[in-house]
Each structure stands twice: as C-alpha cells, then as structure tokens.
C-alpha cells in the first residue's frame, strides 16, 4: 500500500500508531488460536459466538449510539457533557437489560438452542456494559486523536483476554472459560484509556447541565433515530449467518463458521480496523463543508485497501482449508472450507466497511439504515429458501458469500453517490 498518499492529510502517523497496536493485538489472538482450538470444542466456540453476538447488540443500545457523536463536537466542555450523558444512559439501560433477561432470557436462549446461558445473565449484563464503556472511552480518544492510548488498550485486552481463555481451557471448565476471557477481551482496555483522561478530559460540570443535555440530545437526534437502527441492522445482518446456521443445522457447524469468520477477521482487521478509526477522526475534523477533501480520502483509502486485500483474499481462497488443518487440527477442516468460500466477501467487506463513516459525517445515517435493512432482508430470504428446500450448508455458505459481496460493492457506490451529490449542492 502506498502510504505516501496519506501524508498530506496527516493520517500516516496516526494510522501507523493504531496499526502497530492492532497488529500486536491481532498477533496475540492469532498465536492463541492453535492452542484454543485444541482446548475447546466446536460446540464451545458456538456458545462463544452466541455470547459475542449478544454483547455486540448491547453495545450501541447501551448509549443509544450517542457515543458516536463525541468525535464530531468541537467544544471540549460539551463533548464531556455528552460523555457523562452517555454514562447515565448506559447505567439505566443495564438495569433494564438485567430485568429483561431475568424474566425473558430463558425463552430467548432456548429459541436459539443455548439454554445454558440463562444462568449467566449477570455476565451478559456486565459484559455488555463494560464493552459499551470501552467504546465510549474509545470515541473520546478518537476525538482527541489519542491513538497511542487506543493502541495500548487493544494490546492489553488481547493479551489478558486470550491468556484467561487458555488458562481456563487447561482447567477444563467448558465454554465459560471462553466467555470470561471474551469479557476481558472486550473491556479491559478501559484501564489504559483512563490514565490519559486526567490530561485531556474536561471534568468541569458546572453550568447548565440539564439545558446542555437537552441541547445535545436534540442536536444529535439523528444518532438514535438513524444511526442506532443502522447499527442494529448491521449487527444483526453481520451475525445473521452464524445465527441462521445454529437454527438450520447444529452448534458444531455454527462453531466451525464462527471459527472461520474469527480467523478471517484477525489479519484483515489489522489494516481495516486501524484505518477505519483514523479515517473517522480525519473526516470528522474536516466536517460537512470540505466534501472535496473527504472524496480524495475515500478514493485513496478504497484503492489502497483493494490492492492490499486482493492478494490476501486470493491466498485465503487457495490455501485456507489446508492451513486450518495444519494449524488448528483436522477437526477444523470444515472451517477452512468455509473460509475459502467466503474469500470474495472478505475482500469487499475489507474495502468498503470503513467508508460507511461518511454517512455519520455528512449527516445521512438514513442511507445506512436502508442499506442495512436491505442486507438483512436479503439474508432472511436466503434463510427461508435454505430452510424450505433443505439446502446443504456448503451451498448455503456460497449463497452468503455471493450476496454479501454484492452488498459491499453496492455500499461503495452509494458512498460515492452521496459525496457527488453533496459536491453538486455545494
């Protein structure tokens, strides 16, 4: 990837900082997979996948997506007010979530075939709350471009999370070991980010707190109205394949697919995740008026992501199955086969996902809602067809790969259309 094109926009240093942190975190996770795959069964990884899906749903709802607005606020005092408002919303949400799961959790878990999770309600609530708080802390760090703190927090989370998973695996306590490690893997980095708040955080709470809260809620109302549904649809659509496999087939196949997706996301997420954070910080600082500069960033970003992602996707397609058998063991051969089938989807997701941040900055989250709803509708159609005609899981994965590849291609076109439309107006 030609990193020189990033220099004029001030992105290179921040990108490399986040990439190094993400890289170390990914390396730790990659090194742990061959050990974890021999300590836990595919069924255990199926339970982990379902738990992770629950947490991913909780995170945006915990703050009603208002946390995503923090990088857009120029005034530090108002940004701090929104931070504390999000904390208050998260506290109320966690209480409501606990009572909901206490009364209705057993039915929910039984529907997906995970009745054992009904005894772990407290861990689900605390896991979701901690993960949401880490996301909140990360958005504050993004606002202040504290990418060094983000990098350190990612490394800490990955190390301790995977260490606990391995330690509990040797104790043979079952999937609960994976869940405890995952909880740490999603939230422990808050401790690192807290250290920098003394210098960069405004603790001044004097003034019109209620008035400012009303102002912020009204000004950023698009986030709970549009961003939150978009995130919900996106999370549901992203995890729908795993949930559908659990309902169409069994936990073992679900565990194989979750292992394939997890393994694929580790190396590709190194660049994609790092660039997404830096990209959002940069276009947030540019604002709605500098659309031409945003267009240049978008073109450069997608072009370079494609040149990086194409050889990775080709390698996955050709060698994934044998690689999984050698590294993880023969019981994970099916996960390698799934990875090969999903290689095209991997490429287009890698090149298009970071571009979705443009919807936030240009104030068109409603487009993202439509896109995510369309993706979810398409997945539901695939599920109904597969269920009615008893399609083999290999062909089901092929249909998923084709449909999701097309979805991300369309997403890129929508982003460029939106930018062009804004340029025409300006």
| The predicted structure's pLDDT at residue 49 | 83
Assigned token pair, 270: 């190194």
Do 130 and 187 touch, CB atoms closer than 8 A? yes
Assigned token pair, 341: 């089938």
Q: What is the pLDDT of residues 141-152, one digit of tens each?
A: 877 777 777 777
Cα-based angle 167, 33, 270 (whole degrees, multiple of 5): 120
Assigned token pair, 413: 């076109």
Provide DSSP, 357-383.
Answer: HHHHHTT-HHHHHHHHHHHHHHHHHHH
317, burial (CB in 10 Å: exposed 0-12, middle 13-18, buried 19+) = middle
Collapsing DSSP states into helix, strand and coil, what is residue 310? helix
User: Which residue has tokens 């210098």?
Assistant: 199
Q: What is the pLDDT of residues 378-415, one digit of tens each?
A: 999 999 999 998 899 889 999 999 999 999 999 999 98
210, burial (CB in 10 Å: exposed 0-12, middle 13-18, buried 19+) = exposed
Q: What is the pLDDT of residues 212-264, one digit of tens each?
A: 777 788 878 888 887 788 788 878 887 888 888 888 887 788 888 888 888 77
Q: What is the pLDDT of residues 83-106, one digit of tens each?
A: 888 889 999 999 999 999 988 888
For residue 334, what is the enclosing H or E element?
helix 333-341
pTM equals: 0.73
Distance CA 338, CA 261 (A): 9
Do 255 and 41 touch, CB atoms closer than 8 A? yes
Which CA distances in Å does 377 have to 96, 147, 233, 256, 370? 29, 37, 10, 24, 10
| The predicted structure's pLDDT at residue 200 | 58
Return the domain boundaries, the chain: 1-7+253-261+271-426, 40-220
Do 96 and 69 touch, CB atoms closer than 8 A? no
Beta carbons within 8 Å of 410's beta carbon, 6+ residues apart = 371
Distance CA 62, CA 50 (A): 19
Percent of the chain with pLDDT over 90: 17
Percent of the chain with pLDDT over 70: 86
Do 260 and 335 touch, CB atoms closer than 8 A? yes
Do 165 and 32 touch, CB atoms closer than 8 A? yes
Helices (H), 144-174: 147-170
Do 107 and 121 touch, CB atoms closer than 8 A? no
Q: Where are the beta strands (DSSP E) in 181-256?
A: none
Distance CA 391, CA 33 (A): 30
Collapsing DSSP states into helix, strand and coil, what is residue 257? helix
Instruction: State the sign of the Cα–Cα–Cα–Cα dihedral 156, 159, 161, 164.
Output: negative
Distance CA 85, CA 63 (A): 9
Kindly report the backbone phi and psi dihedral angles of residue 192, in degrees, each rounded to the nearest multiple of 5, phi listed first. Answer: -70, -45
pLDDT band at 111 (very low <50, low <70, confident <90, very high): confident
Mean pLDDT of 171-179: 85
| The predicted structure's pLDDT at residue 216 | 82
Beta carbons within 8 Å of 382's beta carbon, 6+ residues apart = 244, 396, 399, 400, 403
């Amino acid at each position: 990837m030609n990193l020189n094109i990033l220099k004029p926009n001030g992105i290179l240093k921040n990108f490399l900082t986040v990439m190094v942190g993400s890289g170390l975190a990914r390396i730790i996770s990659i090194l742990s997979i061959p050990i974890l795959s021999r300590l836990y069964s595919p069924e255990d990884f199926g339970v982990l996948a379902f738990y992770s899906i629950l947490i991913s749903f909780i995170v945006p709802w915990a703050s009603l997506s208002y946390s995503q607005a923090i990088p857009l606020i120029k005034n530090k005092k108002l940004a701090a007010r929104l931070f504390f408002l999000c904390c208050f919303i998260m506290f109320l949400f966690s209480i409501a979530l606990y009572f909901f799961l206490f009364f209705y959790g057993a039915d929910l878990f039984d529907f997906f075939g995970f009745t054992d999770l009904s005894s772990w309600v407290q861990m689900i609530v605390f896991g979701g709350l901690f993960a949401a708080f880490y996301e909140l802390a990360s958005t504050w760090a993004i606002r202040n471009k504290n990418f060094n703190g983000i990098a350190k927090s990612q490394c800490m989370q990955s190390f301790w999370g995977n260490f606990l998973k391995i330690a509990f695996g040797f104790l043979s306590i079952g999937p609960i070991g994976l869940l405890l490690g995952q909880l740490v893997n999603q939230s422990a980095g808050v401790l690192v980010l807290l250290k920098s708040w003394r210098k960069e955080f405004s603790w001044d709470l004097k003034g019109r707190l209620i008035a400012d809260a009303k102002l912020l809620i009204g000004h950023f109302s698009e986030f709970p109205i549009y961003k939150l549904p978009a995130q919900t649809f996106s999370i549901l659509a992203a995890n729908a394949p795993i949930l559908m496999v659990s309902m169409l087939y069994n936990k073992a196949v679900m565990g194989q697919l979750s292992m394939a997706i997890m393994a694929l996301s580790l190396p590709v997420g190194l660049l994609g995740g790092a660039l997404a954070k830096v990209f959002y910080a940069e276009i947030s600082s540019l604002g709605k008026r500098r659309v031409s500069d945003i267009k240049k960033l978008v073109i450069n970003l997608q072009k370079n992501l494609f040149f990086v992602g194409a050889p990775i996707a080709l390698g996955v397609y050709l060698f994934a199955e044998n690689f999984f058998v050698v590294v993880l063991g023969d019981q994970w051969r099916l996960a390698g086969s799934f990875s090969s089938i999903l290689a095209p989807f991997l490429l287009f997701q890698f090149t298009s996902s970071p571009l979705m941040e443009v919807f936030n900055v240009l104030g068109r989250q409603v487009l993202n809602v439509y896109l995510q709803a369309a993706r979810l509708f398409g997945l539901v159609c695939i599920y109904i067809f597969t269920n009615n005609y008893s399609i083999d899981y290999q062909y089901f994965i092929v249909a998923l790969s084709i449909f999701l590849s097309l979805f991300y291609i369309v997403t890129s076109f929508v982003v460029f259309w939106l930018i062009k439309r804004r340029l025409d107006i300006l």
